[in-house]
Each structure stands twice: as C-alpha cells, then as structure tokens.
Structure 1
Amino acid sequence: MPKVKYYDKSNIDRAVQDVINKVESYRSAELKYGVPKSTIEFKIKHPDHKNTCGPSPVLNEEEEMILVYWILETARKRFPKKANDLKSSVQNFLNDHPRKNLFNNNRPGDGWVKAFLKRHPEIVERSSESVSAASARVSEKDIRLWFSELETYIKGNDLEDVISDPTRVYNADETGFEVSPSTGKVFAKRGAKNVYTIDRGAAKENITVIFAFSANEEIGVPMIIYPYVRFPEKIAKSANPEWGIGRSRSRKDG
C-alpha cells in the first residue's frame, strides 16, 4: 500500500476557496498552495467528506467532550482514571445508547483509547503518586494556622533562640512504600506538574521510611516503620543497626 500523503489543511481550504471564488484556476491554485489539482477537485465535489483516515469515531464530538471533562475533573480532584475506567465508561454508555460499532461487547480496545488521546491532546497518561485522604484535605488555611500556632507557642515559651540555631532546626519527612503496589498509568491534564491519587483506604501494607535533616546539613538517624502488630524477630535481627525501626499501632497505620 503506498504511503498516504498529507497536505496542510489551511492550504487545502485556501486553495478550495480560491477556485470556488474564481480567484485562481485549478492549476494556479495547485502551484500556489502545493495541493494537487485532484485533491482540490475532490474537496469541491465532496465538501462533507471527513478528513481523517479510518472509521468515524463511535462517539460524537459532544459525547467525547463530556468524557474529556470527566477525565480532567476527576484528575483535578485526585481521583484520576485509568484506560480501563475509560473503556468501561464507554461500554456502559453504549449499552444504554446502542449504536453500530466494531467493539467487542461494546467495549473499546487499546486502539480506540490511543485514537481518543490523539483527538484530545490535552489529556496524557502519567504515573501518579498516592496521598492519604487526610493529606489531600489539608488546605493553605490549615498550613498557615499551624505556623501561627507554632509561632505563638515559641514566643510564649521563650524559645526564639531555638529557631535561630541551625543545629536545632530540622525538617523531617516520610515516604511510604507499598508492599504490593498497584500498577498502571492514569489520565491527567497535559503539563500537570504532579499527578496524585487519593488512597481510598484499601487493605494494603506499607513500609514507612522517615528522614530528618538539620539546617546545618546534619542527617538524623533514619527510621523504618513496619505494618506489624507483633514485630517479627527476623526483621529486628536483619535491620541496619544504625537505623531506627518501629511498628505502627495497627496494620492500617502505614
């Protein structure tokens, strides 16, 4: 099969309009815009012919835009959708609104998803980072209130010298690692700096690692929190002796 040649749509439109308006002849329009005479003739004779190759999309433009809005809104609310979610949504819609399609049991395949993303470049597939529901609810107001209360406490207890001493100022953070992490990418808005997924409280085991660094670049003793009610002896014996180890109060406390 010969390779399909593509021409700039704006040049095709201008060539067609010039010929229709008798500004140019077929031949002069071909030379001026670089669009073959046969293409110009075809566009004039078949003005409603679609420009894309392959079958027409099963969903119309309005229906696809509803999907786009749904995908972007759920991602913004930190409940991003995966390709299988999109397929299921389309399948449910077609079950309720039957129409001719080539899908298996009304469920689109990977090819349709790829074409959908191509039609809507504002959506991309990204890897997401899980955050707890509590973390997701923290607002700027909450953070400012915390700092205000901390400042009041420091001044009320005459501890201003503490925050001016870099050896006594530490920043600590924790990172959770799922023992059985979920796989797969999610949809997000193109250009989004970070993509998060709120952990819905599924029964998953997490190992939490905590690090602390002082303002004068000293590193605190790292600590690992294991999700065990009873601490296994083999883990206690095999742990790095220079690290701290601990356990959560319950299997649900990562």
Structure 2
Amino acid sequence: MGLRHPEITQRVSQNLTTARDNVTERQIRNWFSEIKDYLVAKNLFEITKCPNRVFNVDESAFYLQPKGDKVLTRKGEKNVYRTGNDEKECITVLVTANAEGIMAPPMIVFTYTRVPGYISANIPESWGIGNSENG
C-alpha cells in the first residue's frame, strides 16, 4: 500500500453485528434514564448504592465464521469493524460481576434449541448454559 496514500493502511477488521452497529449514544443514555426513572418510581433507587446488588454483565461473541479479508482504513485507527455479520453464526459468553468484585460463573449461550449432550458434557459444572434465537 503506502507511498501514494500514506494515511491508508490494510487491517483485519473485527466482526460487528448489524444490531450493535445501529445503537446510538442517545439510545444508551435514554435506556439509563428509563431505568433510573423506573427504580425511583418503585422506590428502589437506594439499591444502586449497595455494591453487592449492582451488577455488570459483559458479553463476548465468538463468531463461528472466519473474519473477512483485510480492509482499507486510516493509519492509527483503533477499531476497524466489518458490519452485517450474521448474528446466528456465533456463541456468546456472559461474564457477570457485582460492584463488590464477586463474579458469577460464566454462562455460554448457544443458538441450539437443545444443546447437544457432547457439548454440555464438556462444560464445567459450575458454568451456565443457555440458548437464544441468535446466540
């Protein structure tokens, strides 16, 4: 690449589902505002000050299809995404912890209607297994 357009380079893109690509900052702020309003209306807002009752869940999607080829992007770009990836071609792992630092066992979410026995037999007993339409 290089000499003709030194500001452009080739990188391998990260997969990004269309659903995640379409979320805006405004939608996220509105969601938090709605949750706060709900907790206040139900007289439950005080639970947010109790660290063992405040949880965070992070999900990691493991795509079952390979990443695409390299794409062109500006040099120094931190995140390079490929959108439009089929959400059904992944499994998801959920990791949950509370504000005190206590972690729950991981949960693996599959797209199967019933998780095959040979898979569930190889997952640690303390882990959770679930399913959803889109993994």
Same fold, judged at TM 0.5 (above): yes
Unaligned runs of 5+ in 2: none
Distance 1:148 1:161 in 2: 16
Unaligned runs of 5+ in 1: 1-113
Which is strand-richer, 1 or 2? 2
* Cross-structure match for 1:148: 33
Name the aligned partner's letter for residue 169 of structure 1: V
Distance 1:127 1:193 in 2: 12
* Cross-structure match for 2:24: 139
List aligned pairs for 1:39-54, cutoff 5 A.
Answer: none
3-state SS of the aligned residue for 2:60?
Answer: strand
* Cross-structure match for 2:104: 220
TM-score (norm: length of structure 2): 0.90
3-state SS of the aligned residue for 2:109?
Answer: strand
3-state SS of the aligned residue for 2:46?
Answer: helix
**CA RMSD in angstroms, aligned pairs only:** 1.7
Name the aligned partner's letter for residue 213 of structure 1: A
CA offset at residue 183 of structure 1? 4.4
Name the aligned partner's letter for residue 27 of structure 2: D
Count residues with an aligned counterpart. Answer: 135
Which is helix-richer, 1 or 2? 1
Q: 1:137 to 1:183 in 2, by over 3 A?
A: closer
3-state SS of the aligned residue for 1:149?
Answer: helix
* Cross-structure match for 1:193: 78
Name the aligned partner's letter for residue 235 of structure 1: I
List aligned pairs for 1:61-210, cutoff 5 A.
Answer: 114=1, 117-201=2-86, 205-210=89-94
Name the aligned partner's letter for residue 232 of structure 1: P
> Looking at both structures, which has the greater relative contact order when contacts are Cα pairs under 8 Å and sequence separation is at least 6?
2
Distance 1:226 1:200 in 2: 17
Distance 1:155 1:144 in 2: 17
| Structure of higher CA gyration radius | 1
* Cross-structure match for 1:48: none
List aligned pairs for 1:29-48, cutoff 5 A.
Answer: none
